[in-house]
Amino acid sequence: MARKKTTSKNTEPKLQGYIAGAGEIVEQKVAATIEENYMPYAMSVILSRAIPEIDGFKPSHRKLLYTMYKMGLLGSTRTKSANIVGQTMKLNPHGDAAIYDTMVRLSRGYEALLHPFVDSKGNFGKFYSRDMAWAASRYTEAKLDPICNELFNDIDKDTVDFVDNYDNTLKEPTLLPAAFPSVLVNANTGIAVGMASSICSFNLAEVCQTTIGLLKDPDFDIMSTLIAPDFTGGAQIIYDKKIIENVYQTGRGSIKLRGRYTYDKFANCIDILSIPQTTTAEAIIEKIIDLVKQGKIREISDIRDETGIDGLKITIDLKRGIQPDKLMQKLYKMTPLEDSFACNFNVLIAGTPKVLGVRELLNEWSAFRIECVKRRTYFDLHKKQDRLHLLRGLEKILLDIDKAISIIRNTQEETKVVPNLMDGFGIDEIQAEYVAEIKLRHLNREYILKRTEDISQLEKDIAKLEGILKSNAKIKNIIIKELEAIAQKYGQPRKSMIIYADDIVEEEIVEEVPDYAVNLFFTKEGYFKKITPQSLRMSGEHKLKEGDEIIEHFETTNNIDLIFFSDQQQAYKTKAPEFSDTKTSVLGEYIPSKLSFDDGENALYMIPTKDYTGFVFFVFENGKIAKVPLESYATKTNRKKLTGAYSDKEKLAAIVYVKNDDTDIILRSSSGRILLFKSSDLMAKTSRSTQGVAVMKLKKGHRIVSAEVYEESMLANPDRYRAKTIPASGQLPRPDESGEQITF
C-alpha cells in the first residue's frame, strides 16, 4: 500500500554533509517497485543463469570451460581444481563454491553426463548418491576432456561473438562453437523465475545420425535414428511410442524410468545396479526401510548399500521362498526405483526462451552451426587473401632483387624505405612493409621462389573457400563430415536399455496380510484395541480412562477394513493390520491421533467390514433417520479421508450399523418414549449427505437421545413399542416396565 509523504519535524539548522530529503517517506507504487527491482532480477536469472543456450551450456558452464581452455588444460596435464576455480572468478563473479559445484557436475568422476567435459582426478562424488560428498577443490585435479576439442577447435577463428567480462578486463565468448549438438547429448536442468528447463540426454551417435538426416532431408523421420533418450545411470526406459513422439514434437512430456537389477540365486539376494536419474540410492533405501517398518513389505530380511569401485550396487536380502520378480514389481510401484523424468526443452534462442521439440532444436542448432562454419570459412578466406596479397608483392621483387637492395641501401631515411619500394615496384604499403621486414640473408632468389610457390595453392584454396561461402549445400556437407567423424571418434553404445510398455505385464500386487481371529473394541472416548482371543482369555479387565466405557465390540478377523465416523461429518478409512495386537491392560490406540483427525475432531462410531455390505443409519435428534448403504463409503483408490460422510443440517444423536436389512432398531427420546422399527421400513439413499426421513414424532422441546440394534430381553413387550406406520410417536413404558424407563 502506498504511503503519504511526510516531512521530518526536525527544525535544527542544516549541517555540513546534510542530504536533501533524508528522513522523508516518499510515496511509491507497489507495481512500479516490483517492475524496477524484481523484473531485472527475473530477466537476469532467465537470460544469464538458469536456461541453457543453443550450444548446450549455461553461462556458468561456458565461463568455466573457456577459462580452462585459456589455461591450456586441453590435452595437457591436470592442475589443482582450486587453481581453476580462482581463474574462473575472473569471468564468473560468484563464490568459489558455486563455481566448484559447476565443475563437479561436468566432471567424469561425478558421472552425471554421458560425455563429461572435465577429466577429473580425486573424489568428485557421485550423482546417484546424496551423502557421497565430493572433496574440497584443494584436493582434486582436473583438465578438459578430449571431447572439448570439438567445442573449441574454431573459437579463435571468429566463429562466435566475444563480449567484455563483468569488469571489462577480459573477453569471453557468448557461445561455444560446438561441432555437435551438445544441447541434446548431455542432460541439463535449471529453474528460473516463472519458467524452468529440463533436457534429457541422448546418445551421441544417434544425435549425430539424426542431425545428418535432417541436414540432408528436412522431412527426415527422426524416430528412425533417435530411438529414445539415453541416461548415464543406465536406467531402463519404459518405451511408449506416443509419449516419445509427444516429447519429440512438443519438447514436453514425462518419460518413465526404472532401475535395473539381477538376482543372485545362491545368495538369495537382489542386486540393484542402476537407478533412475531423478533419485538417489539413499532415497530408495530409506523408502524400502520405511515400508518394511510399516509392514507393507514383508519379503525383505536386510538391505544395504554396497556401492564401490565397480559402481552403484544396492543389495536386498530376501526371505526364503520369495519370488524376486514379484517383489521388484512391488518395489517399482512403491519406491522411487521407478520414476519419471519430466522433459521441458526450454532453450534460449537469440536471447528468447523457447520450448522446442527435437526437430526444431536440431534445426536451430544446424542454423547456428552453419553460421559458425560460414564465419570460420570467411576467416580462413581473409587470412589466405592477405597471404596471397603479400606474396604477390614478393613476386614482383623477384623480377629485380638487385633493384630492391639498391633502393633500401640508397635510401637516406628509414621512413622513406617503404615509400621508395612502393614507387620502385608498384606495390602497396602492406606489401612494401612485408618486403622491408625481410632479413638481408633472405633477399635471394631461392628464398623468394620458395615463398611464391604457394601462390598457385593459395589461389586454389581461395577459390574453394569462396565456393563454400556461396553454397549452403557445401557448408552442410562440411558439417555432415564433421558429425560423422565425431560420432566415429566419441560414439559409445547406449547405456539405457529400452523396455516396451506393451511387454510389461503388471501383476496386481496383493498385500499378504496374516488373517486370524481378533476382537475389536472401541470406546466412547475414541480408543481402539485389537486383541486376539487367546490374549483376551488370559487377560483381566480392560484398562480405560476415567469415565470412559466400551461402546462397540466385534469378533472378526484381522484382514478387515475399518471405518471411523467423526463428529465433523467425516469418515476415516484404515485397515485392521495397521494396528498392532495389544492387551486389555493398555488404553489402546487413540484414533484421532492415529488417523490424523482435524483439530478438535472426535471419533464417534466404528464399522468393521470386508465387503462393504449392510447399511448405516444416521439418527438425528429431530427424529429423522438417514439410511445409507455402506458401499457408498467404498472407494477405488486408497483414500484415507472422506468428507461429507453424513448430513450436517441437524445434530446427530447416534449411528447404527446393520448388516442384515431385517434388523430391529430401538429409539429412545428425552420424553421417555420408546419406538421399535424394522430397518427395512426405510428406503436407502445413495447420497451420503441425505437428511433422511421422519421416523419418530417428538413433542416440542424433546429429542432422540439414543438408538441401537434391538436385542432380545431389552423390552418385556416389544410388540407394544413397534411402529405400525412411520413416523410414529412411540410409547411410554408401563409402570410394571419401569426398568425400561430412562430419566433425564
Using the predicted structure, report yes or no on whether residue 317 has a pLDDT greater than 60.
yes
Using the predicted structure, report yes or no on whether residue 151 has a pLDDT greater than 60.
yes
Cα distances from 77 to residues 113, 154, 276, 699, in angstroms, run 22, 22, 34, 99
**pLDDT number for residue 17:** 58
Query: Which of 130, 120, 129, 112 is CA-nearest to residue 64?
Result: 120
Using the predicted structure, report yes or no on whether residue 639 has a pLDDT greater than 90.
no
Query: Which of 623, 604, 647 is CA-nearest to residue 704?
Result: 623
Query: Which of 524, 526, 527, 519 is CA-nearest to residue 586?
Result: 527
Catalytic residue among 41, 139, 500, 516: 139
Using the predicted structure, report yes or no on whether residue 7 has a pLDDT greater than 80.
no
pLDDT in tens, 672-717: 999 999 998 898 988 898 999 999 999 888 999 999 998 888 888 8
pLDDT in tens, 283-299: 999 999 999 888 788 88
pLDDT in tens, 9-32: 444 455 555 666 677 777 878 888
Using the predicted structure, report yes or no on whether residue 117 has a pLDDT greater than 70.
yes
Mean pLDDT score, 376-387? 95
Average per-residue pLDDT in the chain?
Answer: 89
Mean pLDDT score, 458-479? 94
- Phi, psi of 144, rounded to the nearest 5 degrees: -75, 140
Please, which pLDDT band fits residue 137 given cuts at 50, 70 and 90?
very high
Distance CA 194, CA 432 (A): 61
Which is more confidently placed, 507 or 437? Answer: 437
**pLDDT number for residue 507:** 61
Mean pLDDT score, 341-365? 95
**pLDDT number for residue 320:** 85
pLDDT in tens, 157-177: 999 999 999 999 999 999 999
**pLDDT number for residue 736:** 66
- Phi, psi of 338, rounded to the nearest 5 degrees: -120, 125
Using the predicted structure, report yes or no on whether residue 591 has a pLDDT greater than 70.
yes
Query: Which of 143, 211, 206 is CA-nearest to residue 179?
Result: 211
Work out the burial of residue 399: count CB atoms within 10 Å of its CB; fewer than 13 is exposed, 13-18 middle, 19 or more buried: exposed
Which is more confidently placed, 742 or 90? Answer: 90
188 bridge partner residues = 199
Please, which pLDDT band fits residue 73 given cuts at 50, 70 and 90?
very high
The answer to whether the beta carbons of residues 642 and 698 sit under 8 Å apart is no
Please, which pLDDT band fits residue 1 given cuts at 50, 70 and 90?
very low
- Does this model's pTM top 0.75? no
Neighbour tally for 253: CB within 10 Å: 21
Please, which pLDDT band fits residue 8 given cuts at 50, 70 and 90?
very low
Mean pLDDT score, 462-470? 95
Please, which pLDDT band fits residue 435 given cuts at 50, 70 and 90?
confident
**pLDDT number for residue 512:** 60
Q: Which amino acid is at 149?
A: N
Range 79-118 burial, b when 16+ CB lie within 10 A, else e: bebbbbbebbbbbbeeeeeebbebbbbbbbbbbbbbbbbb
Range 298-333 burial, b when 16+ CB lie within 10 A, else e: ebbeebebebeeeebbbbbebeeebebeebbbbbbe
Please, which pLDDT band fits residue 436 given cuts at 50, 70 and 90?
confident
Using the predicted structure, report yes or no on whether residue 304 has a pLDDT greater than 60.
yes
Continuous segment of H or E residues that includes residue 626? strand 624-629
pLDDT in tens, 181-233: 999 999 999 999 889 999 999 999 999 999 999 999 999 999 999 999 999 98
Q: Go through the domains of the chain in sequence order and give each one's CATH number.
A: 51-177 (3.90.199.10), 260-336 (3.30.1360.40), 370-490 (1.10.268.10), 517-740 (2.120.10.90)
pLDDT in tens, 544-569: 999 899 999 999 998 899 999 999 99
**pLDDT number for residue 715:** 84
Please, which pLDDT band fits residue 453 given cuts at 50, 70 and 90?
confident
Neighbour tally for 538: CB within 10 Å: 10
Residue 110 annotated as catalytic: no
Please, which pLDDT band fits residue 505 given cuts at 50, 70 and 90?
low
**pLDDT number for residue 9:** 47
Quick one: what percent of the chain has pLDDT higher than 90?
64
Using the predicted structure, report yes or no on whether residue 743 has a pLDDT greater than 60.
no
Please, which pLDDT band fits residue 6 given cuts at 50, 70 and 90?
very low
Quick one: what percent of the chain has pLDDT higher than 70?
94
Mean pLDDT score, 385-393? 91
Grid coordinates given for 705: 437421545
Mean pLDDT score, 520-543? 91
Cα distances from 505 to residues 329, 463, 502, in angstroms, run 10, 64, 8
Please, which pLDDT band fits residue 662 given cuts at 50, 70 and 90?
confident
**pLDDT number for residue 340:** 94
Contacts of 286 (CB under 8 A, 6+ apart): none
Neighbour tally for 202: CB within 10 Å: 24
**pLDDT number for residue 742:** 43
Distance CA 527, CA 506 (A): 39
Neighbour tally for 26: CB within 10 Å: 10
